Structure 1
Amino acid sequence: MKKVAVILAGCGVYDGAEINEVVLTLLHLSKAGAQYQAFAPDIEQLHVINHLTGEEVEQSRNVLQEAARIVRGDIKAVTELNPDEFDALIVPGGFGAAKNLSDFALKGVEAKVQTDVLAACQGFAKANKAAGYMCIAPAMVPLIYGPGVIATIGNDEGTAQAITQLGATHQTCTVDDIVVDETHKLVTTPAYMLAQDLAQAETGIAKLVKQVLNMAI
C-alpha cells in the first residue's frame, strides 16, 4: 500500500487550504487504496479572511490548528514529516499556499517557501519521489526543484510569468488536465485556478492523484 504525505495550508480558500481540493485529493487517494497523512506548518496565518464578505478581520489563527478542521484532527506538524516514510507528496492549493506555505502572494518573483515546508518538500525532490501540486501551489516548485522544472497553474498570464521568472518552465493547461514533469516526477494541475465548479476541479485532481500514485515507487 502506497503512503502519501499531504501538506495543508490552513482551512479556507482565501487564507488557507482550498477545502474542496483537499477533500477531493483525500477521496481519490482513499479510493485508490493509498494511505495518507496530513501535515501543516505550526505557524500563524498571514491573516484571516471573512469568507462571507471577503474582508480581512482582526484575528490570529494557527495554520496547523485550522488545517486540522478539514481532516478531523488527524494531522501532524510538518516538522514531523520524514520523506523516507512516504512514497509520494501532494500539496493542494488555496491562497494559503501563497500566503502561509510561501510568501508568493506578497513577494511574487522574490518569494520564498516557509522554512519547514521547504525542507519537507525538498526532501521528496532530492529523493526523486513523486509529488503533485495543484492550483497556486505550483508557484513554489521552482523554489523547491530549481530552474527548469516543468509545471502549470493553468493559463493566468501574470502568475505564469512570475513562476517562469522564478525558474520554472510553465505549460498552459486546461482545468481537466495535468502537466507531468517526468524528470522530476512532478505532476501539476490548475484545479480552482480555473475550475468553475466542483466537478471541473474533480477531473484534474483525479488525474493528478492517479498519476502521482503511478509514479510512486
Structure 2
Amino acid sequence: MWRLRWNVLIHLSRLGMSYECFAPDKLQTEVIDHITGDKLNETRGKISRLKDFKIGDFCALTIPGGFGAAKNLSNFGNAFSKCEVDGDVARFIMEFHAASKPIG
C-alpha cells in the first residue's frame, strides 16, 4: 500500500498540487511488503490525525486501496460481509461526498 500511496503523492507533486496524509488515531494491524514478505514498521512522511481533518482545506480525496486499507480503515479483514468502516474514516468520506468533491 505504501508504494501506491507514494506513487500517488509523487504524481500530485509533479502536477504542482499540495497534499496531506491522514490516518485514524489507532494502532494498525500488521503491515506487510508483499514483494519481500517483510513486515513494515516504518512511517514515511508526516501523517496527520484523521479527527483533525477540515474539509474546507481540501479539494479532493484519494484513498489508496489494498488489503492494508481494508484491515486498517475498516474491520473487513476479520468481518468480511458484516464489516464496518472506522467511524472517523466514514465521516471523512461522507464530508467529501456531501461537499460534491472528487473521491478516488
> Which one has a bigger Cα radius of gyration?
1
For 1:50 and 1:91, the matched residues in 2 are separated by 18
Change (3 A) 1:111 1:22: same
Query: Over the residues paired in the alignment, what is the CA RMSD in angstroms?
Result: 2.1
For 1:128 and 1:94, the matched residues in 2 are separated by 25
1:85 maps to: 57
Which of 64, 68, 74 matches 1:102?
A: 74
For 1:49 and 1:113, the matched residues in 2 are separated by 18
Change (3 A) 1:53 1:36: closer
For 2:19 and 2:50, the matched residues in 1 are separated by 14
Specify every segment of 5 or more residues in structure 1 that has no aligned partner in the other structure, as ranges.
1-17, 56-65, 133-217
- State whether structure 2 residue 88 is matched by structure 1 residue 129: no
Change (3 A) 1:119 1:50: closer
**Is the 8 Å Cα contact of residues 31 and 68 (structure 2) preserved in structure 1?**
no
Letter in 2 for 1:127: A
TM-score (normalised: structure 1): 0.43
Percent identity between matched residues is 34
TM-score (normalised: structure 2): 0.84
Specify every segment of 5 or more residues in structure 2 that has no aligned partner in the other structure, as ranges.
none
Superposition map of 1:178-193 within 5 A: none
1:54 CA displacement? 6.8
2:44 maps to: 70
